[in-house]
Amino acid sequence: MAQKPSIPKGTRDFSPVEMAKRNYIFQTIREVYALYGFQQIETPAMENLSTLMGKYGEEGDKLLFKILNSGDFLHGMTPDEMTSTSTLKLASRICEKGLRYDLTVPFARYVVQHRDELTLPFKRYQVQPVWRADRPQKGRYREFYQFDGDVVGSDSLLNEVELMQIVDTVFQRFGVRVCIKINNRKILTGIAEVLGAADKIVDITVAIDKLDKIGLDNVNAELAEAGLTQAQIDRLQPIILLSGTNDEKLQTMRQVLRDSETGLKGIEETEFILSKLDGVPIELDLTLARGLNYYTGAIFEVKALDVQIGSITGGGRYDNLTGIFGMPGLSGVGISFGVDRIFDVLNQLDAYPREAVSTTQLLFVNFGEREADYCLKAISAVRRAGIRAELYPDAAKMKKQMSYANAKQIPFVALVGESEMAEDKITLKNMETGEQQSVTVEELIESLTP
């Protein structure tokens, strides 16, 4: 026998049960986006490499999956060129296309390409796989889905507010307790400004973020190592040790940042957003600095409270999404749901609604051709009533058919033999309790309709 086939490392097959769970996740997020007027788009898996290259840094260029030109991909190349060129350059010669690396660059490309058809603000969501030639490891894949939502073409902070409401609603529907963390790039810039250490902002946030793990002394030591003077470190203390309610934190920060116009603008923005989010579990966290090179205003991140796992959703405000494609001045704000991690969280919490992941509700056992004919009529009526039902296709041994029902976790089985046909009844068996009752088709439908 041939070797058992396999799939490329870092990729996955999704089984029926996994798909049912993933569809539940996707469908829940979709529905909430739709409630807020977001519309779906899709872009091709392949983009021109000229669209992708240079957008993710030097490392990103290497992680792009490149697609070999079809046909005579060496056309016109001399042997000399082939052997003397660097690997990366040769790759660009023989590959014009690459697989999508994220949904952001294709979205920017989409907005520029279709600018004349779009009405701004454009509220779009997109859920598609992306590919990265990363080293595969636990929880990191070479093919994975992203689920992004963005509003472009509006500076209004109401967009930030709505995105936080979307996040809140989605996780409420999942039954997952979360904390939304919010920060603002302008506050971080303000901190660097008042310290006179504009180039140290990354070191500062990285160090502050470790407070819980390594303690204040080590944080301060790390800041010194990063080149901050003792005066600067002293001045950072109220920020490192910032605590209390959001209002208390903002009050402290307004003091610290009183000389930074940018910093005060960041506080004002944060105050506005928080003031509209009564009842949403959201917390100002100055150590939040994700995507720092990218975000220009609000930054957010979502943590699950009851599962140890990294951030499960994140996003922020960015300026100039489309500048790289020659359409400057378009601001946007977006979030990305980490669907793979949400899948893990819901698994760990066993939080999938039974209905969402159940498939067939009723199996008709097949006792032979005459019985099957009877069942075919009954099953048509059952399906017309919206009940998901199967007739076992072969008159196999009872045991085999019951194993099938068990393997597919089908909760009810319908048995139709000689006596049932004579009485025009069906024996309905509850697979969980073992209970059996004799019913008409109408009664069967009624008892299985929620």
**Contact flags string 8-47 toward a second copy, x per CB under 8 A:** x--xxxxxx--xx--x----------xxxx-xxxxxxxxx
Residues 197-236 that bind a second copy (CB under 8 A): none
Stretch that binds a second copy, among 3-11, 214-222, 285-293, 303-311 (CB under 8 A): 3-11
CA distance 350 to 356: 12
Q: Tell me the pairing of strands 298-304 and 282-284.
A: unpaired
Q: Which is nearer to a second copy, 65 or 147 (CB)?
A: 65
Our CA angle for 233, 238, 243, nearest 5°, is 140
Q: Which is nearer to a second copy, 149 or 190 (CB)?
A: 149
Q: How far is the CB of 14 from a second copy (least distance, A)?
A: 4
Q: Which DSSP letter does residue 288 get?
A: -
Residues whose CB falls within 8 Å of the CB of residue 333, separated by 6 or more in sequence, listed in order: 150, 151, 159, 160, 163, 297, 298, 315, 316, 317, 318
CA distance 192 to 226: 13
Token pair 């139709």 in the structure block, residue:
416
- 372 binding a second copy? (CB under 8 A): yes
- 398 binding a second copy? (CB under 8 A): no
Cβ atoms < 10 Å from Cβ of 308: 8
Residues 298-337 that bind a second copy (CB under 8 A): 324-327
- 409 binding a second copy? (CB under 8 A): no
**Contact flags string 268-297 toward a second copy, x per CB under 8 A:** --------x---------------------
With CB under 8 A as the contact rule, the residue among 76, 87, 138, 308 that binds a second copy is: 87
Determine contact, residues 150/111, Cβ cutoff 8 Å.
no
Stretch that binds a second copy, among 63-71, 204-212, 286-294, 338-346 (CB under 8 A): 63-71
With CB under 8 A as the contact rule, the residue among 26, 136, 143, 348 that binds a second copy is: 143
| Residues shown for the chain | 450
- 129 binding a second copy? (CB under 8 A): yes
Burial readout 386-422 (b: 16 or more C-beta within 10 A, e: otherwise): ebebbbbeeeeeeeebbebbeeeebbbbbbbeeebbe
Stretch that binds a second copy, among 78-86, 175-183, 414-422, 439-447 (CB under 8 A): 78-86
Beta strands of 207-360 (E only): which ranges? Answer: 282-284, 298-304, 313-318, 332-337
Q: How far is the CB of 325 from a second copy (least distance, A)?
A: 5
- 1 binding a second copy? (CB under 8 A): yes
- 359 binding a second copy? (CB under 8 A): yes
